[in-house]
Every structure is written in C-alpha cells, then in structure tokens.
C-alpha cells in the first residue's frame, strides 16, 4: 500500500475521495492517507512559533466552533507542519495552494495560520489581541513570499523529490449548476472562498513560481469546472462538480502507479460518453436554452469554462443544430 500526505484543502482531500465529500481516507484500497494538513500556510510554517507550547496547550476544544480543529490549530501554532511531513512514512505529497489565501495572524516577529479563524475565539487570542494583527497573502505582493517557499521546499525536497510531489492547481470558480439545470453565478456572501479575480490572479502567480522552480507533477483541471448544487449545500468557489474530483483522482493514480509521463495534465475528459460517472452525471437537469446563452457569455469573456458547458450541451442536446455547429467549430479549431 502506498501512503499519501496532503498539504492542502478540500480541493485535494475530496479528490482523493473520488468526489464523495463525507467519506474519509482514500477511495482506492491500494492507497492510504497519512496526514491531511488543511487550513495551512507554508509561508507561516517557516516562521517562529508565536507562543510557548505551554500556552498553546491551554486551548480547549470548548473554545472552538469546529471541535475537530483543535489538533490542527495547535499544530499550526507550534509550527509542526514541516516536521510532521518529514517524519512521515508517506511516499507522496499532494499539495494545493487554496488555503494559502485564508487570513493569518501577525504577532511580534512572526505570523501563524489560524485554522480558518478558530484561534480568534480562544482565550489565548484574547490575552494577546492588542498585539495581534490580521493579514492575507493576496493583499501583499506575491513575490515577497517566494523566499519562504524556497525555505519550505529546501526542507521538503530532502524527503519528497519532484517526482513524488503532485500539485493540484486551483482556480476559484464563479459559476454553479443549480438544481433546475441552469448555470448560475455563485451568490456573494462575503466569504473568502467567494469568486475573487484578485485571488485567482495572485494564486496563479504563486503557483507559476512554484511549478517552474520545482517541477512537480501538475494537475490543472479546476479552471474547467464549476460548482454543483446537486452535490453541495454550501456553494462557494472551492466546491466543484463530481467530474472534477473524479478526473483529478484518476490522474493522481496514473502518476502514482506509473501510468503516465505527462508532467502537466490539463485535458479534461470532455465529449466522451464512456467516461467514468457519465451516466450518473446525466441524471442532473440541464436547461439547454438557458445555458446556450451562458455559453455565449463565457466565450465572449474568454472563460475556459465554456468548454464544460459545450460538453454538457453536446450530451443533453446532441441533435440541436446550434450545438452541433459549435462542436464542429471547436473541432475545426483544434485541427488547425
């Protein structure tokens, strides 16, 4: 059995579960999940611990809204992330940078991740709150973080070489398929994970630096997918259709089991009725007339999500002359 560590978000965790968000571990008996380290910031991980271990131990589960975060919060405050990864017996490290965009705390000469602001509910925070500030990676010039990424990778590469690091690129999505079959814009509830152009631009720049310098395996599929109200109650820019997780998981397995030499994978399995999960996906409603208009908007905005919508239109209305014309146009452009 091959063990995998995840340093990332639900984007990668749910991919290892083949899209079944409520499950645990890895949805393949040949693979085992070691650590799942979420709500992390690898820049913060490279800076000194803000408090003594004794102070951190005073935090209790009763102080947290999400009781499951106690262990992870203490790990962030004690700066245990890198030692845990280095001491683990896992062979592969799956990473994504989504949680790098969560607010962090600044304190004296250091910064630390807050486990999605759970720390700010604690008595330890109250004790020092006059000295604590709140920051966000994407409000600061991305290049300022490159040196910290290098420090992190200097240590990580002593255990996981580039052939054992799988990087899951992430683009915060803007659209979702609602239960009536209409592709709609995700409602803005003021959350960090809402559609955010600046977030995507900053994340892209950070990812580009990481990929070009460290040459991991790269899976770049999120830009092709949207959310799905049929599968997620809490719609936000980090929750995707099942197709995204399936295809990401398939590529992770191809990498681990030596079934591909494609270093960067950015080819969604669209226009393929034999793909895994196709019949299940076709049970969803899809409003052809309405979504033809959305397709036009996406194409005019140069949003690559248009390919996803055209794939669905081709599945639900293959005999529609407008759809057939668009598919023919796409195929002609691909040949050229």
Token digits of residue 195: 């559609």
3-state SS, residue 179: coil
In tens, the pLDDT along 89-113 reads 999 999 999 998 888 999 999 999 9
Domain 2-283 carries which CATH code?
A: 3.40.50
Which residues make up the CATH 3.40.50 domain(s) of the chain? 2-283
Which H helix or E strand runs over 113?
strand 110-113
For 258, left (φ over 0), alpha (ψ -120 to 50), or beta? left
What are the tens digits of pLDDT across the range 21-77? Answer: 989 999 999 999 999 999 999 999 999 999 999 999 999 999 999 999 999 999 999
The structure's pTM equals 0.95
Tokens 């000295």, located at residue:
131
Percent of the residues in the chain that have a pLDDT greater than 90, as a whole number: 83
Q: Tell how far CA 336 is from the center of its chain.
A: 33
CB-based contact 145:137 (threshold 8 Å): yes
User: What are the residues facing 2 on neighbouring strands?
Assistant: 31
pLDDT in tens, 148-193: 999 999 999 999 999 999 999 999 888 999 999 999 998 876 554 4
Question: How far apart (Å, rounded) are the C-alpha atoms in residues 251 and 110?
Answer: 37
């Amino acid at each position: 059995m091959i063990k995998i560590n995840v340093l990332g978000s639900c984007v990668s965790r749910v991919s290892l579960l083949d899209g079944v968000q409520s499950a645990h571990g890895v949805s393949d008996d040949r693979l085992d999940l070691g650590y799942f380290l979420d709500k992390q910031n690898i820049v913060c991980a490279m800076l000194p611990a803000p408090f003594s271990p004794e102070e951190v131990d005073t935090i209790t589960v009763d102080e947290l809204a999400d009781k499951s975060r106690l262990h992870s919060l203490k790990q962030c405050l004690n700066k245990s992330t890198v030692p845990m990864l280095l001491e683990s017996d896992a062979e592969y490290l799956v990473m994504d940078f989504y949680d790098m965009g969560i607010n962090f705390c600044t304190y004296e000469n250091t910064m630390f991740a807050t486990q999605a602001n759970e720390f700010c509910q604690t008595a330890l925070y109250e004790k020092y709150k006059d000295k604590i500030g709140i920051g966000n990676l994407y409000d600061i010039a991305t290049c300022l973080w490159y040196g910290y990424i290098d420090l992190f990778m200097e240590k990580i590469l002593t255990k996981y070489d580039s052939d054992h690091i799988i990087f899951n690129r992430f683009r915060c999505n803007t659209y979702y398929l609602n239960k009536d079959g209409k592709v709609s814009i995700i409602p803005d509830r003021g959350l960090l994970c809402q559609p955010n152009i600046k977030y995507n631009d900053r994340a892209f720049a950070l990812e580009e630096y990481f990929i070009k310098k460290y040459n991991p395996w790269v899976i770049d599929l999120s830009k092709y997918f949207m959310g799905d109200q049929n599968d997620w109650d809490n719609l936000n820019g980090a929750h995707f259709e099942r197709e995204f997780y399936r295809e990401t998981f398939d590529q992770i397995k191809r990498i681990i089991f030596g079934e591909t030499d494609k270093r960067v994978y950015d080819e969604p399995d669209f226009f393929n009725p034999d793909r895994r999960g196709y019949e299940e996906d076709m049970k969803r409603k899809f409003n052809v007339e309405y979504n033809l208009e959305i397709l036009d908007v996406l194409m005019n905005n140069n949003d690559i999500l248009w390919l996803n919508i055209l794939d669905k239109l081709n599945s639900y209305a293959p005999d529609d002359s407008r759809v057939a014309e668009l598919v023919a146009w796409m195929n002609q452009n691909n040949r050229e």
